[in-house]
Amino acid sequence: MTKKTFLTKDKAEEIAAKYGTPYHVYDEAGIRGNAEEVKKAFSWNKGFKEYFAVKATPNPFILKIFMDYGFGCDCSSMAELKMAYAAGFAGDDIMFSSNDTPAEEYEYASKIGALINFDDITMIPYYLENVGELPDTVCCRYNPGGTFSLSNGIMDNPGDSKYGMTKDQMEEAFRLLKDHGVKHFGIHAFLASNTVTDEYYPKLAGQLFELALELKDKCGTDISFINLSGGVGIPYSPDQEPNHIDRIGAGVKEVYEHLLVPKGMDGIKIFTEMGRFMMGPYGALVTRAIHEKHIHKEYIGVDACAANLMRPAMYGAYHHITVLGKESGVADHKYDVTGSLCENNDKFAVDRMLPEIEMGDLIYIHDTGAHGSAMGYNYNGRLWCPEVLLHEDGSFSLIRRAQTLADYFATFDCFPEYSNMDRV
């Protein structure tokens, strides 16, 4: 089974010559092509907006690409709010879908006019007490409990998830918000993650549309949007069938026309907060093979580690690997591909069949465009690698430099003997 790379070996070497290895690289042509398709799939809905989930790929240069399509940003922390604002987003182009939120983050979100999405009913008095007056439009996050199933089985377990409010709390929250002058309402839910099926959004939309009708009836509130959040997945493994965003958009349209239009609610806007689907396939981690080790198993040591891509270590997630320049080679060698952390789960692949790897080969780890660099950390004093954007004309630019040891030690800056690296 093969998977296409968006980078040739020559291009990868050209980038490596300039910025070293490892690096995360993003494919602007792929990002734009997909954004176009997302926009088209929901163009039937006048108010449609994708709020890109900043946490997936927190980089202003990526956010700015999405601005070209009229998209917004979905933020959940102070850093994400500030990054979105610095990139030029403000007002209702920012959705603040946070949880366990500190007062100062609500305050800042309110200052820049972001749409507030309350994760819990207790957040409403907390907001009133700490921030003040509520905006005209407010969203609430719903959690129906139980399990969430599609035709291929149970997808996720909302009953076990910390997010959102029960149905009764949604009703109570809407009444409370209305009493405090809120005029327009949104409903949000995120019930399953990385769904690789076209059924997820339409099924979720059906549940949320029914809830909207019920809340409108019971509370007499104006529902202005339904936020389907994230959860649309990508095929990490080459044998998975990818999602078809056109069919997903058409599926949501069908439910919309069936449930909302007959009730005269055909002005409701559809919002999404996709991260993985917008970026996952359009990023790769490129790393060089620097060691081989032959003990009870065959190991290839690369110059990236789990600090650059945590998903395999954290979730046992599969990421496809291509040995650049050996795309058509026979995969007749079985390897564990490892990083250098003193943690045995620091393996990008276990028992993976690959063409024979020679020292110096460039290893292309697929589908790291979302939740890849973003989940970087500094365990073992390992540093963040650079992020590079490959443009449509084949040129490329650095969109975030590598972290340096000086950055790593900078937070000892009140102790110059430990923060000033010129000494050692």
Applying CB under 6 A, which residues contact ligand PLP? 53, 55-56, 74, 97, 190, 193, 229-232, 273-277, 370
By C-beta, is 157 or 397 nearer to ligand PLP?
Answer: 157
Q: Least distance in Å: CB of 264 to ligand PLP?
A: 29
Q: Least distance in Å: CB of 422 to ligand PLP?
A: 40
Q: Vertex 182, ends 181 and 187: CA angle to 5°? A: 160
> What's the rounded Cα separation, in Å, for the pair 384 and 381?
10
Q: Least distance in Å: CB of 396 to ligand PLP?
A: 25
Q: Least distance in Å: CB of 370 to ligand PLP?
A: 6
**Which has the closest alpha carbon to 142: 180, 171, 176?**
171
Residue 379: C-alpha distances to residues 288, 340, 375, 391 (Å): 20, 11, 12, 32
By C-beta, is 161 or 340 nearer to ligand PLP?
Answer: 161
By C-beta, is 15 or 56 nearer to ligand PLP?
Answer: 56
By C-beta, is 22 or 164 nearer to ligand PLP?
Answer: 164
Q: Least distance in Å: CB of 81 to ligand PLP?
A: 13
By C-beta, is 301 or 372 nearer to ligand PLP?
Answer: 372
E-assigned strands of 36-84?
49-53, 72-75
By C-beta, is 272 or 322 nearer to ligand PLP?
Answer: 272
Alpha carbon 13 to its chain centroid, in Å, reads 28
Q: Least distance in Å: CB of 77 to ligand PLP?
A: 11
By C-beta, is 249 or 339 nearer to ligand PLP?
Answer: 249
By C-beta, is 227 or 287 nearer to ligand PLP?
Answer: 227
Alpha helix segments (H runs only) across 198-344: 200-219, 245-259, 276-279, 311-315
Q: Vertex 220, ends 216 and 222: CA angle to 5°? A: 65
Strands 283-294 and 298-302: antiparallel
Secondary-structure percent of the chain, ordered helix, strand, coil, rounded to 5: 35, 25, 40
By C-beta, is 156 or 303 nearer to ligand PLP?
Answer: 156
Structure tokens at 374: 């973003």
Is the previous residue joined to 242 through a cis bond, with omega within 30 degrees of 0? no
Alpha carbon 253 to its chain centroid, in Å, reads 24
> Phi and psi of 140, rounded to 5°?
-130, 145
Based on C-alpha coordinates, what's the Rg of the chain?
A: 23
Q: Least distance in Å: CB of 220 to ligand PLP?
A: 28
> What's the rounded Cα separation, in Å, for the pair 257 and 205?
11
By C-beta, is 371 or 400 nearer to ligand PLP?
Answer: 371
By C-beta, is 211 or 274 nearer to ligand PLP?
Answer: 274
> What's the rounded Cα separation, in Å, for the pair 235 and 195?
9
Comparing every residue's Cβ against ligand PLP, the nearest one is 230
Tracing tokens 């890109």 back to the chain, one arrives at 52
**Which has the closest alpha carbon to 49: 209, 274, 276?**
274
Q: Least distance in Å: CB of 120 to ligand PLP?
A: 13
Q: Least distance in Å: CB of 84 to ligand PLP?
A: 14
Identify the sign of the CA torsion 171, 173, 178, 184.
negative
Give the DSSP H/E element, type plus range, for residue 356.
none
> What's the rounded Cα separation, in Å, for the pair 80 and 70?
19
Q: Least distance in Å: CB of 2 to ligand PLP?
A: 25
Q: Least distance in Å: CB of 274 to ligand PLP?
A: 4
